[in-house]
Amino acid sequence: MPGLADDPSMTAGVAYLHNATDNSVADLFVRPVTETSRLFTGQRRGAFHDYLRSRLAAVPAVEVADQFLSAAIAPSKQLLSVAADEIRDREQFVLLDEQRVAYEVVLREVEAARQADSKSVVVIAGAPGSGKSVIALSLLGELARQGRAVIHATGSRSFTQTMRQVAGKGSTRVKNLFKYFNSFMDAERNGLDVLVLDEAHRIREKSVNRYTPKQLREAARPQIEELIDAARVPVFLLDEHQVVRPGELGTVADIEAHATTRGLPVRHINLNAQFRAGGSQTYLDWVHRLLDLTSEGTSEGGSPGWHDEPTFSVDVVESVEELEGRLRAFRDSGVTARMTAGFCWPWSNPTKDGRLVHDVQIGEWSRPWNLKSDRAVGGAPPSSLWATDPDGFDQVGCVYTAQGFEYAWNGVVLGPDLVWRGNRWVTRREFNKDPDFRSKTAVDDATFDRLVRHVYKVLLTRGLRGTLLYSMDQETQEMLRTRVNP
């Protein structure tokens, strides 16, 4: 809270362990006592009361409480200074020339909003690997250096947790700059200077969930409106072809429509034409045509063949065993490699004794999915770290864990929910195990078809050096062989 941050003497830290005795927590008393780290046990209840009396006013202060409750959600100047040092100078966040164009456009919009006391919306669209997250983190670091009230947000638990670990490493306070899209239901209008919305294709219809208090649930607005209202310059970074779940509304058209109803100007920046990093633009175009996600390809004409490039290669393997073996060889040579699959198997929790269930079964071969939870189990990393922790290799990743990440070599299992028949793709709901896709009432056949192809588009575009493909369906395998290095 800005008011408290300006006067350190206004705050203090205290822990009251009401069920503990001094002897049971003796090790904790070894730490030096400061005004921000006082500790009391149930044995010292009277001393705890005395401490509270020394810190709290003897008379009610309703106006101060109201000021505290209505304070804007904004990082303090001290936090912004730390964030700038943590983020701005890191090598992995250095912008390429093409990405700098979008970065500078946002900075100009922020300055214009400050000078004119105005508001605008920025939309940055780009394919996987085009640098959207690099732009987002570079903006966070630079705007923090300038002292702007800025926060980074996503709709992905895995992605947010990884950003906290990578960009906020060494600073718990910096980690607090990374939030979720549903964190702004009751945010002050324009309380932030900038809200950087990474992976904006994950925006949901509304922010409510089963834990949302009744009063907020009843007053819930569209999530896009909450995010636009939260900052002077909301910045949406997205890839429209990565909308993979029912209820995700993060498209350029959705954002522009909500901005227009408020009379707000929209700056739209397309990174696709400037793609240079991570993989191959030719490969991305090929994937779009292969899955019939672009007007350049039709189900009748199919996709033109892929031919390997010096910097990117594709291969169709004969079995899932070969797929895993080749990925393991890449891993053992010192480069990152992961296997992903369509959501065509149940996703079980670990057993009570900590063993992972081998849900993904193809013939005699089987492996577990990545973990659902944020806690490591049985040697497997937490869900949020599956793509970056070396121990994630031995689990199969699903779209919700892989989305937003990249690795050098990408292995993809096409499940029986997407097969090639004759001259077109056929999606089969009965083979898909994603709980969000079960109901035809919530997800009609046309939407199911589009979302499943989006899922495989996400899975097929995680590799930086190459992709290995395997379909469980023989006819689909034959089609892929005619399309890859024919």
Domain ranges of the chain: 2-69, 77-272, 281-483
At 462, is the secondary structure helix, strand, or coil? coil
Tell me the pairing of strands 365-367 and 360-362: antiparallel
CA atoms of 421 and 130, how far apart (whole Å): 33
Name residues whose C-beta falls within 8 Å of residue 199's C-beta, 6 or more positions apart in sequence. 132, 133, 154, 155, 156, 159, 237, 238, 242, 250, 403, 404
Mean pLDDT of 229-235: 96
Banded pLDDT at 482 (limits 50, 70, 90): very high
* DSSP for 164-201, written as a single string: HHHHTTT-HHHHTTEEEGGGGTTPPTT-EEEEEETTGG
Is 80's pLDDT higher than 60? no
Per-residue pLDDT at 355: 92
pLDDT digits (tens, 9 = 90+) for 239-250: 888 888 887 888
Mean pLDDT of 288-307: 68
CA atoms of 483 and 292, how far apart (whole Å): 14
pLDDT digits (tens, 9 = 90+) for 180-229: 999 998 899 999 999 999 989 989 988 887 777 887 777 789 999 999 99
Percentage of the chain with pLDDT > 90?
46
Is 1's pLDDT higher than 90? no
Q: What pTM was computed for the model? A: 0.65
At 440, is the secondary structure helix, strand, or coil? coil
CA atoms of 149 and 465, how far apart (whole Å): 38
CA atoms of 479 and 424, how far apart (whole Å): 10
CA atoms of 284 and 457, how far apart (whole Å): 9
Strand partners, 255: none
Superfamily (CATH) of domain 77-272: P-loop containing nucleotide triphosphate hydrolases (3.40.50.300)
CA atoms of 121 and 228, how far apart (whole Å): 7
CA atoms of 430 and 448, how far apart (whole Å): 11
155 phi/psi in degrees, rounded to 5: -105, 10
One-letter amino acid for residue 332 of the chain: D
CA atoms of 307 and 64, how far apart (whole Å): 68
The answer to whether the CB of 370 falls within 8 A of the CB of 359 is: no
Helices (H), 27-76: 45-55, 62-69
pLDDT digits (tens, 9 = 90+) for 392-438: 999 999 998 998 788 899 999 999 999 999 999 999 999 999 998 88
